[in-house]
Amino acid sequence: MSPKIKLENFIAPKGMQDVMPSDCLYWDYIFSAVDKLGKTYGFNRIETPILEDSRLFSRSIGENTDIVEKEMYNLTTKGGDKLSLRPEGTAGVIRAYINSGMANWSQPVKLFYTGPMFRYDRPQAGRQRQFTQAGFEIIGSMDPIFDAQMIQLVYSIFKKIKLKNIVININSIGDAKCRGKYKTALVDYYKSRANKLCPDCRRRLSKNPLRILDCKEEKCSAMREFAPQIVDYLCVECHNHFKSVLEYLDEINIPYILNPYLVRGLDYYTKTVFEIVVEGGNKRQLSLGGGGRYDDLVEILGGAPTPAIGVALGIERIADQLKASHVALVKNSSAKVFIVQLGDKAKKKSFKLFNDLLEAGIPAAESFGRGSIKSQLRVANRLQVRIVLIIGQKESLDGTVILRDMESGMQEIIDSLKIIKEVKKRMKNGN
RNA sequence: GUGGCUAUGGUGUAGCGGUAACACAGCAGGCUGUGGCCCUGUUAUCUCGGGUUCGACUCCCGAUAGUCACCCCA
């Protein structure tokens, strides 16, 4: 016995996971709903590069956000370009909108995409460094009806995949002007009470005051009861916009929760913001996706002023949720026929037969690597295939095939020229 | 970036200061031309490195990894 030498094992990078075949069942299920409903609602698919100019993100998401400051994967190319792995999808889509002159298309332009996003943070439940989003964007209209349509679309996706207990949280954070006024009022309110805030919130006070509203610390959330509310600071336009969005949602009976404390992490949001939330374990709300209006973003990235709204869904989180809620998906073992071969000559014949079956549109399976009839039948049984075709020495010489019905155990010898026809006939009757 | 918890075959788990057990999965065989059941064999330097000890998978320290929570976010 030679000593076993254990080589260093490679493991996947931190926060990056293999999506195993059993998970892909759920992924395919989600993606097919995304694709189907997206197209139904008039969205066209677009895929943008995973790497973009770093500045695209710093300018859109916000220079001072955590995402840009500490969570981006940055790299410099051999040519000296500074690129980043995309931490979200909207910036790239808007870049494409501007680059490709989509402003000249019929407005609004409706686009959707799917793909991996990257953020360098500590992994935990429902959060990976590489994660996958499906996103939708409606670019080129400020009509509140599209805010509602966006929510209608994601709501219908969740309905289609049969995920229950979905709640839409919605709020308006106003435009740059009214949000500015609100922020000032909020900071004023908390500043005088800063000593009662948790350390994190004291930091938020200067950096990201809106987040104080979201704090889970009891003393902080208690204080927000008397804090100024954003709705009272919305300008007439923002207020009316928000009101119409809610009216449209009422019109189509989409249940939502007005959450005055909902704020979102990216700087570019204006007016409507929303989150798709599910009640997780220990009563915590888990966000499966979120979005909002970003009326200034196109201009910020160098295009003509163009209002827009978008949403992104977290595929891993949705897949986890589907599993947890016991939405059962079964692997459809598609093979209807299994080929068993014995001996070299039969192996060659069965290789040809396999090809003929597939060309005839009959899903077939094999275990060519195995030699004994027993082990092959065992595999056939495991695959739950109804019809097994056996070619041994004798049959390969006679030009015949044994057709075995696995349920009844009945066998027939059939001329190999007629076997395709015979199998087709049985598949028709069998099911 | 901060903190808690965990680390035993491919997977899921036992275990005790005295040379690793069970279930499932895999492979091979019992039956050299017939599956499901059954049986047999096989699959682990108990994450790594140090310390305590006559002796460590077990106790202690460190590293690494995983995991959960905070921050932040999908």
Rounded CA-CA distance A302/A143 in Å is 22
Rounded CA-CA distance A224/A247 in Å is 27
Six-digit token string for A195: 């000593």
**Do A427 and A357 meet the contact criterion of CB atoms below 8 Å apart?**
no
pLDDT tops 50 at residue A3: no
Give residue A227's identity as a one-letter amino acid code. Answer: A
Rounded CA-CA distance A12/A380 in Å is 34
Q: From the Cβ of A414, is strand B under 7 Å away?
A: no
Which residue is nearest to the C1' sugar atom of B33, using CA?
A: A373
ipTM for the assembly: 0.83
Query: In Å, what is the CA distance from A263 to each residue of A124, A199, A266, A310?
Result: 22, 20, 9, 15
Q: From the Cβ of A285, is strand B under 7 Å away?
A: no
Within window 93-152 on A, which residues have Cβ closer than 7 Å to strand B? 119, 121-129, 131, 133
C1' of B7 to CA of A48 (Å): 41
Rounded to an integer, the average pLDDT of A357-376 is 88
Crossing angle of helices A54-61 and A90-99, rounded to 10°: 110
Give residue A298's identity as a one-letter amino acid code. Answer: V
Q: What is the CA radius of gyration of chain A?
A: 29
User: Cα dihedral angle (A260, A266, A270, A272), rounded to 10 degrees?
Assistant: -50
Rounded CA-CA distance A40/A100 in Å is 24
Please report, rounded to a whole number, the percentage of residues in chain A having pLDDT higher than 90. Answer: 55
Rounded to an integer, the average pLDDT of A395-409 is 90
* Nucleotides of B strand lying within 7 Å of any protein CB atom: 1-3, 26, 28-29, 31-36, 44-45, 65-74
pLDDT tops 80 at residue A329: no
C1' of B26 to CA of A281 (Å): 35
> What pLDDT digit, counting tens, does each position of A249-304 carry?
999 999 999 988 888 877 789 999 999 998 765 566 789 999 999 999 999 999 99
Q: What is the pLDDT of residue A283?
A: 60
Q: From the Cβ of A394, is strand B under 7 Å away?
A: yes
Rounded CA-CA distance A132/A114 in Å is 7
**Do A336 and A385 meet the contact criterion of CB atoms below 8 Å apart?**
yes
> What element of type H or E holds A415?
strand A411-415
Mind listing the domains of chain A with CATH numbers?
A: 21-175+235-324 (3.30.930.10), 337-425 (3.40.50.800)
Give residue A413's identity as a one-letter amino acid code. Answer: I
Which of helix, strand or coil describes residue A270? strand
> What pLDDT digit, counting tens, does each position of A32-47 carry?
999 999 999 999 999 9
Q: From the Cβ of A393, is strand B under 7 Å away?
A: yes
Could you tell me the pLDDT band of residue A359, with boundaries at 50, 70 and 90?
very high
**Do A135 and A89 meet the contact criterion of CB atoms below 8 Å apart?**
yes
Give residue A388's identity as a one-letter amino acid code. Answer: V
Mode of pairing for the β-strands spanning A130-139 and A256-258: unpaired
C1' of B28 to CA of A1 (Å): 19
Spatial CA neighbour of A110 closest among A44, A157, A156: A44
Per-residue DSSP letter, A65:
S
